[in-house]
Amino acid sequence: MSHALRALRTALQLLPIALVLVVLVPGSAVQPTTLTLTKVTTAEGYDAGSDVVWVLVLGEDSVHDTDAIQLLGIDARTGAAAGIGIPRDSWVDLGGGEMGKINQAYGEDADAERVSEVVRELVGITADYVLATAGDGFVSMVDALGGVTVVSSQAFVTDDRNMQVDKGPNEFTGDEALDFAMTRDAFPDVPGDFVRSENHQALLLGLLKQLQRQDGDRGFVELMALSALEGLDTDASPVDLYRLLNVLTGVDPDQVEGCIVVGREDVDARGNQIIVPDDELAERLGREAAADATFESGCEPR
């Protein structure tokens, strides 16, 4: 840009402020008043490694079933983030035509490649990284953050600790956050997995905000990266994990959207409850979010 053009642009930017100052400064025409403007600007930028980085977040139970499955996309250029929640009972092809619940894809072998492939088949997005955490690791990470504030969409009592959760904001320790995340029987009127997946997204948003509250403290992000390294089972390298955590500090919470791959309730051959996922919805959510981590058409099935 030429100097003249820049000068003109700067002058136009400053003109309204100068006019306000002229109006507000009382006095006579005897003495000119010279004022100095405060010109403060900010800039932030994050290189996530790709336009949208996709992270598959898994929460394991004690027998290695992944009862929390969230595919998160972050567009570091815009600060937008999208979460696609996949209910644990979703009935899918686990590979080679073997049908089963999606929460069994990861398994005792911690098969990140397999679960990533199953998710790709469902939503059409290949995760760049898989992050899995079990109870203790999750609790220690939340506690390292200093707890978490979670906005619940409804009031309920948790399954394990009979903890009262209020509709609206709730302050949780690591143990309480885990109890909140695991509860599914408290929602008799809707398939429990759908509400639970929604709760997982609310929890992740709370953790994001908690991280951002403290990312201005020197050394905090480095400590959290170490805590994540200890608490997570992941295919991300330690450097990738550090980069990812820093990229999260740049996400705009107002640009975070979460959708759930809902489906039809059914039972398998053994009579176990399953969810037959809405494949069309899953495909659309993945397709829309792939480019910029937003859901152009919303979360509802057509």
Partner 1 sequence: MVTLVAACTGEEPEPPDSPSTALRVATVHGDGLDERARARFESEVSDVVARYVEAGFLGGYPRDDFVQGFEDFTSGAAEQAVGDLEVLTAARFENASSVRATDLGAALSFYVVDGEALGATAWIDFAFDVDDGESTTTAALDGRLVLERRNERWSVFAYDVRRDDSDALPVEATTP
Which residues bind to partner 1, rule: CB under 8 A? 3, 6, 10, 14, 17-18, 21-22, 25-29, 31-49, 76-77, 218-219, 221-223, 225-226, 229, 238-239, 242-243, 246-247, 249-250
Complex with partner 1: residue 25 or 269, whichever CB lies closer: 25
Distances (CA, A) of 174 to 139, 141, 145, 178, 186: 4, 7, 9, 6, 20
Structure tokens at 116: 């990533």
Residue closer to partner 1 (CB basis): 17 or 157: 17
Of 38 and 162, the one with the shorter C-beta distance to partner 1 is 38
Instruction: Provide, rounded to whole angstroms, the least separation between the CB of residue 179 and partner 1.
Output: 31
Distance in Å, CB of 48 to partner 1, minimum = 7
Q: Label residue 267 exposed, middle or buried (CB < 10 Å: 0-12, 13-18, 19+).
A: exposed
Kindly tell me which of 10 and 164 has the beta carbon lying closer to partner 1: 10
47 or 108: CB nearest partner 1 = 47
Distance CA 226, CA 286 (A): 31
How far are the Cα atoms of 107, 121, 197, 207, 209 from residue 149, in angstroms, in the given order? Answer: 30, 34, 17, 8, 8
Output the six-digit token pair for 203. 């929890």
To the nearest whole angstrom, how small is the minimum distance from the Cβ of residue 137 to partner 1?
A: 17
The least distance separating partner 1 from the CB of residue 81, rounded to whole angstroms, comes to: 16
